[in-house]
Amino acid sequence: MRETLRRLLRQRKAAVGGTLLLGFLLVALVGPWFVMDPTELMGQPHQPPSSAHWFGTTGQGQDVLAQTVVGARETLAIGFAVGALVTLVGALVGITAGYLGRRVDDALTLTTNIFLVIPGLPLAIVLGAYLPSGPFRMVVVLTFAGWAWNARVFRAEALALRGRDFVAAAVVAGESHARIITRELLPNMASLVASSFIGNTLYAVGAQVGLEFLGLGDVGAVTWGTNLYWAGNDAALLTRSWWIFVPTGICIALVGFSLTLLSSAIDELTNPSLRAPPKAPKAAVMRAVATPAQEAAAPGALLSVRDLCIEYMTQAGPSRVVDQVSLDIAPGEVFGLAGESGSGKSTLGYALLRLLPSSAAITQGSIVFDGTDVTALSPEALRAFRWSRVSMVFQSAMSALNPVLTLGEQFHDTLAAHGGASRASSYARGRELLAMVGLKPELVNAWPHQLSGGMRQRVGIALALALEPRLVVMDEPTTALDVVVQKELLQRVLELKERLGFAVLFITHDLPLLLALSDRVGILQAGKLVEVDTAQRLRTDARHPYTRLLLSSFPHLGATDTQAPTPDVLEQAASALKPPLAALPGGRR
Amino acid sequence: MSPPLLEASRLNRSFPVGGFLSHARRKVLTDVSFSLERGEILALVGESGSGKSTLARLLARLDTPDSGDILLSGENVLAREGRSASLAYRGRVQMVFQDPFASLNPVHTVAYHLERSLVRHGRARGVELTRKVHALLESVGLTPAEQLAKRYPHELSGGQRQRVAVARALAVEPDVIIADEPTSMLDVSTRRGVLQLLKGLTRERGIGILFITHDLASARHLADRVLVLYAGSVVETGRTSDVLQAPRHPYTRLLLSAVPDGADFLRTPLPARVATAPPPPLGCAFAPRCPHADVRCHEALPPFHLPAAEHHVRCHLESSKGVPDDAAVSS
């Protein structure tokens, strides 16, 4: 909590907004003691600013400065009171509905929706007629008209949180409903509560000023809204007495501005994706030295990676995720890359297509594919290179496929981007590719959501093969699949590889799978390639202790081994080497 | 003979599908029965969509079956308590969730999670509380306990979080722990530690564990008995050594052949057909994919057969082998 506050203060938006709002609060609190009586007729009417009346006088002769300062008090008091009440009522109704569900939800949601369709202004006018005049009436009217929208926001949040495992875990632990709502759900909504409160206050100030300006408030009170009401009544515009309404107007605008800044600061704080991404680390001066490394590429290799370093910029400074990795892949070879989460295996795979996020950069080394230095490609050359020479199959087929396009359209997108194929020819090629991966050609007209996970991944492979690339990077393509589906898919990949002759870089944490699938396997630990060998040799005599640890971590089905527990020292050594991943966006777990 | 620790009898669960006024329901569990003894680990294996997690939620009383009974030490808890579980049930049956990144509340410390369970079930109070929290953390191998208790979930690794989740389940001193794929979200090098921790609990404290997994290899190492679920029904159950070394049901064989193990696992063909028809409404759900299926499989649900003691198989092929049920039992 303290950390959150500190970060909030460090933000410029929050600092400006907060200072401004604090200033107004201070004025509202102590200002009235330092100015004249705002209701007394202190001087001549319609007097421009002078030394006696700094902001001039109103159409009746009251001091405008006094009215502005004193008006701040009630305006802000009502604003914050309504902001708090609307948030409270909305949150209680919304969370109760979202968490309890069923009938309670039906009843509360119906009520909320009825309130939402009643227009706020007429409701406020009708209500105002029945309540005694005064600040209390304004609070009730505005709360009544404003809570429903909040209830919907909180209900949606509660629905999302209710499905989370920690709520189920609290139920299993025997916690009561009330305690789950107040201690498990609400603290997780702290940022929503804060930003709703700020937003509601903004709404309340605006609506209150509007109502009062129309004369629907207590015209005898001194608030910013009534100031404007009297300014209108006294024909301030006609007499060009700008000083009567400009100070109040500026105050309202500034309060609105400060509240908007604060709420946007809270949003940014709690949603890191809204923040400006950290700049990628600069490439080291080593770039010039990269040329001799190219010559070291093994003859006949399709892909040669030399001394590759990739760094992410984090809040704690640059973090090296791939550390001096060198590897070669021969044409038609299956190269397996194994490693645990945070080992940099996916980052390495993405780097081969230069698909790194903006906060990451290749700081050193070279990637030479079939004589082309991938790290030096221009944007246009890169666009032509991707997919036609090296393509990729992603872990989550559902997020890799576009849910609003049929499969045929997605084939067309890919094919048209590389050489302007006609729609008819793209569909024909799509049918052919689908048949190739073992799906019915008619599925070319299907939508992604109509397919099972295994079928989607087959489509992912078909798309990756659309331009007949020479290397396909497969990033955990079967991790989300059942073992039976996984085996079917991999057998199909190997069969296609024999027929079409492409090479595969297969990335996974599943070492037994990799050993069965690959010709050669590289073991990545904390960004370093600790061992590369043929699958056969790794199986029997792995040399690096980390490889042996990984191998022993998978229980075998056939052997009658009841292996000794893994040495804890080794385990700790392994985890100690991991890079600080918590700060990385999108780090896999 | 005393009744089993936890017994499920003919559990059924279906969920509504379709729109607002649709009465269609999709069956997720059909007549699932099993029993769990004290100090035993029963592995529940099956592919995604087989109903494993639904069954776990029913037993953890996060959900209520359409029909069927749950018996805890012989006592029918659903008949007595209805929809919401009593604190006494929660105190005896605990659950460890699949994703330790989601099952701990990010706003609370490790100590808070454990203290709540201890206080709610009256296992400790006052000054004793802190001591008990530290003892729990040490018992799951999280040391130094004083420091770890003060941490928040995001400050822990996946393996450490799952250990906290196990510690929370242990805090109420339960008799049964339902572990829903407790290691599938963990890195391989930390998996074994968590599995060994679970195994130790059955040996030291006599806790019965229902271990839900899709990983047959870890089931083989951990479980005393295995229950294979396909499309919401039990197709084969028995001692781990019987089921995994001499599988009888074609689906169990298919699962076993797909486990990545050995150099030539990708060269052996899968013993299954590509399903061309939906599962028959009356027959065996596996029939469309089964390489041995015949007319019977499409027309009638096979009964359970007992090829060996405690080994149940739901397949017509077993009966055609001519092994009478009673002969198998007596052997």
Q: What is the average pLDDT across A332-346?
A: 89
pLDDT of residue A277: 59
Q: What is the average pLDDT across A367-374?
A: 89
Helix (H) / strand (E) element for B77: namely helix B77-81
Partner residue opposite B256 with nearest CB, options A187, A453, A557: A557
Q: Which residue would you say has higher pLDDT here, B13 or A51?
A: B13
Residues 6+ apart with CB under 8 A from A425: A415
Least confident residue range of A130-139, A294-303, B150-159: A294-303
Q: Which residues of B touch A169 (CB under 8 A)?
A: 95, 97, 103-104, 165, 168
| Arithmetic mean of pLDDT over chain A | 83
Determine if the peptide bond prior to A331 is cis (ω within 30°): no
Q: Which residues of B touch A568 (CB under 8 A)?
A: 193
Whether the predicted pLDDT of B234 surpasses 90 = yes
- Confidence band for B20, pLDDT divided at 50, 70 and 90: low
Whether the predicted pLDDT of A393 surpasses 80 = yes
Q: Yes or no: say if A175 and B105 are a contact pair by the CB < 8 Å rule.
A: no
Q: Over pLDDT 90: what percentage of chain A? A: 24
- Chain segment A499-558, per-residue pLDDT in tens: 999 999 999 988 888 999 999 999 999 889 999 999 989 888 888 888 888 888 877 776
Measured between alpha carbons, how far is A391 from A352 in angstroms, rounded to an integer?
Answer: 9
Helix (H) / strand (E) element for A381: namely helix A379-385
**Do the Cβ atoms of A557 and B97 come within 8 Å?**
no
B64 torsion bin: left (phi>0), alpha (psi -120 to 50), beta (else): beta
- Chain segment B254-285, per-residue pLDDT in tens: 999 888 877 778 888 888 877 777 888 888 88
How many Å separate Cα A279 from the centre of its chain?
Answer: 18
Q: What is the average pLDDT across A263-284?
A: 68
Q: What is the average pLDDT across B94-116?
A: 90
pLDDT of residue A4: 66
Q: What angle do CA A111, A112, A118 make, to 5 degrees?
A: 90
Q: What is the average pLDDT across B51-77?
A: 91
Q: How far is A56 from chain B (nearest CA, A)?
A: 53
**Do the Cβ atoms of A483 and B108 come within 8 Å?**
no
Partner residue opposite A555 with nearest CB, options B48, B121, B217: B217
- Chain segment A187-236, per-residue pLDDT in tens: 888 888 888 999 999 989 888 888 888 888 777 888 888 888 888 888 77
Backbone angles phi, psi at A501, to 5 degrees: 80, 20
Least confident residue range of A25-39, A50-64, B234-248: A50-64
**Between the CA of residue A44 and those of A48, A53, A224, B295, what are the distances in Å?**
10, 10, 21, 106
pLDDT of residue A50: 80
What number is the ipTM of this complex? 0.86
**Do the Cβ atoms of A174 and B120 come within 8 Å?**
yes
Burial class (CB in 10 A: 0-12, 13-18, 19+), B150: exposed
Burial A6-33 (b: 16+ CB within 10 A, else e): eebeebebbeebbebbeebbebbeebbe
Whether the predicted pLDDT of B44 surpasses 50 = yes
Chain A (441-460) residues lying within 8 Å, Cβ to Cβ, of chain B:
453
- Note if the pTM is more than 0.90: no
Q: Which residue would you say has higher pLDDT here, A294 or B188?
A: B188
Q: What is the average pLDDT across A393-418?
A: 87
Measured between alpha carbons, how far is A477 from A461 in angstroms, rounded to an integer?
Answer: 9
- Confidence band for A1, pLDDT divided at 50, 70 and 90: low
pLDDT of residue A287: 46
- Chain segment A257-267, per-residue pLDDT in tens: 999 888 888 87
Q: What is the average pLDDT across A152-164?
A: 89
Q: Which residue would you say has higher pLDDT here, A53 or A458?
A: A458
pLDDT of residue A41: 75
- Confidence band for A276, pLDDT divided at 50, 70 and 90: low
Q: How far is B239 from chain A (nearest CA, A)?
A: 15
Helices A568-576 and A545-553: angle between axes, nearest 10 degrees? 110
pLDDT of residue B328: 41
- Chain segment A485-499, per-residue pLDDT in tens: 889 889 999 999 999
Q: Which residue would you say has higher pLDDT here, A9 or B65?
A: B65
Measured between alpha carbons, how far is A455 from A381 in angstroms, rounded to an integer?
Answer: 32
Measured between alpha carbons, how far is A156 from A137 in angstroms, rounded to an integer?
Answer: 30
Query: Nearest-CA neighbor of B2 among B175, B143, B200?
Result: B175
Least confident residue range of A159-163, A282-286, A517-521: A282-286
